[in-house]
Amino acid sequence: MIIALTGTPGTGKTTVCEVIKEHSQYKKQYGIIDVNKIVLSEKLYTGKDEARDTYEADMDKLKERIELEIRKVPHGMDIIMEGHLSHMLPVDAIIVLRAHPVALRKRLGKRKNYSFEKVRENANAEALDVILVESVELNKNVFEINTTDKNLFSVVKSVISIIEGIKQGKVPEEFLPGKINWIEMVEMD
Ligand SMILES: Nc1ncnc2c1ncn2[C@@H]1O[C@H](COP(=O)(O)OP(=O)(O)OP(=O)(O)O)[C@@H](O)[C@H]1O
Ligand SMILES: [Mg+2]
């Protein structure tokens, strides 16, 4: 099975995959593909939006390149494609990591290469569920995990339980989209 692990920058995709890659059991079960790394190292973009400091990925080239990468993963392993573009690739299911926009601002504010404007833009995209909405439009199997105030290992466990649940033909009800609403929370503050 191929799973996209997506979410606004800073929601913790790479951190979760680092744990999986180092775990004695998980590393044998799941092959991780770092989508951003491939886009950047192989220059699979059509241009750069200088004002927003973002690259415009060449999705056609990326899809071709990812096919090759998938073939390298040993048979029997599930594949987790990690990155904020992964939900746009052909996958069996999408897991969207979420973080409260205020928490996200804190996480992204620590990145030296992120301008104030870039932090704000990403926090707003998270507040408006941009990646979740894109995912739901593209795939029937979409699940979301709220990482706010969750420790890393509990997020990893949720990712694994969603994947294993789907494989057993179950619907991981707890993680169905629609339960997270940042706008409501912001207004209650
Ligand atoms: N569950 C969590 N709680 C608090 N902080 C977290 C959590 N998960 C990750 N972080 C922190 O948030 C920051 C961003 O994490 P990470 O780089 O994994 O995000 P990402 O989703 O891969 O972002 P990008 O799309 O830009 O690659 C890191 O400093 C990480 O330590
Ligand atoms: Mg990352």
Residue range 2-188 forms a domain whose CATH class is alpha beta
Ligand 1: atom nearest CA of 149 is 3
Q: Whose CA is nearest to atom 31 of ligand 1?
A: 15
- Structural domain boundaries in the chain: 2-188
Sheet holding 78-82, edge to edge: 30-34, 78-82, 2-7, 93-98, 142-146
Choice from 14, 82, 121 to test ligand 1 binding pocket (greatest atom count within 8 A of CB) = 14
Rounded Cα–Cα distance for residues 37 and 82 (Å) = 10
Percent of the chain with pLDDT over 70: 97
Q: Is the pLDDT confidence value at 189 over 50? A: no
Please give the distance of CA 4 from its chain centroid, rounded to a whole number: 7
Choice from 5, 8, 11, 156 to test ligand 1 binding pocket (greatest atom count within 8 A of CB) = 11
Band of pLDDT at residue 186, cut at 50, 70 and 90: low
pLDDT digits (tens, 9 = 90+) for 34-82: 999 999 999 999 999 998 999 999 999 999 999 999 999 999 999 999 9
pTM (predicted TM-score): 0.96
Smallest-distance ligand from the CA of 11: 1
Average pLDDT score over the chain: 95
